């Protein structure tokens, strides 16, 4: 018999809340089975959820994750890999730009810090005014 997970089991195992799990269901990224009134997840659902969480951690939108999962269902091979490669390359480019922007911001803030510190030191008591 196939191993099944309840909402709480799967959420606890993957370190998310049951509410987050339900959110992914509402967004159509997961479709659990039912046993009576309880939703249950298969190993395949668990694997999909792990891909969803990894995609989120890497900064992909839910729409991008959905497209990837849809390709996985249809092709599961070359086209999926090409699509993933394209998206990863775009994400790397975006992150490189963000890094440049952050480095420029840090440099600018350091310059302001030096200017303000110098200005305050010049105005400190004990200095001739």
Model pLDDT, residue 78: 79
Beta strands in the chain (DSSP E): 5-6, 33-35, 38-41
Length of the chain (residues): 129
Model pLDDT, residue 16: 96
Model pLDDT, residue 83: 80
Model pLDDT, residue 5: 92
What are the residue ranges spanned by the domains of the chain?
A: 1-61, 75-123
pLDDT, tens digit (0-9, with 9 covering 90-100), for 16-30: 999 999 999 999 999
CATH level 2 (architecture), domain 1-61: Orthogonal Bundle (1.10)
Model pLDDT, residue 77: 72
Q: What share of the chain in percent tops pLDDT 90?
A: 62
Mean pLDDT by 10 residues, the chain (129 residues): 88 95 93 90 92 91 86 68 86 94 97 95 73
Report the alpha-carbon distance of residue 5 to residue 45 in Å, rounded.
9
The DSSP code for 4 is: -
Model pLDDT, residue 49: 94
How many Cα atoms are found within 13 Å in the side-chain-facing hemisphere of 108?
Answer: 6
């Amino acid at each position: 018999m196939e191993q099944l997970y309840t909402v709480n089991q799967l959420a606890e195992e993957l370190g998310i809340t049951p509410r987050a799990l339900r959110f992914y269901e509402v967004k159509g990224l997961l479709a659990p089975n039912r046993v009576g009134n309880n939703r249950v997840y298969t190993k395949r659902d668990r694997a999909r959820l792990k891909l969803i969480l990894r995609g989120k951690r890497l900064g992909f939108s839910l729409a991008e994750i959905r497209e990837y999962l849809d390709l996985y269902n249809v092709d599961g091979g070359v086209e999926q890999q090409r699509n993933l490669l394209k998206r990863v390359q775009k994400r790397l480019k975006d992150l490189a730009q963000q890094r440049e922007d952050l480095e420029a911001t840090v440099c600018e803030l350091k310059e302001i810090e030096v200017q303000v510190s110098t200005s305050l030191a010049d105005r400190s008591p004990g200095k001739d005014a």
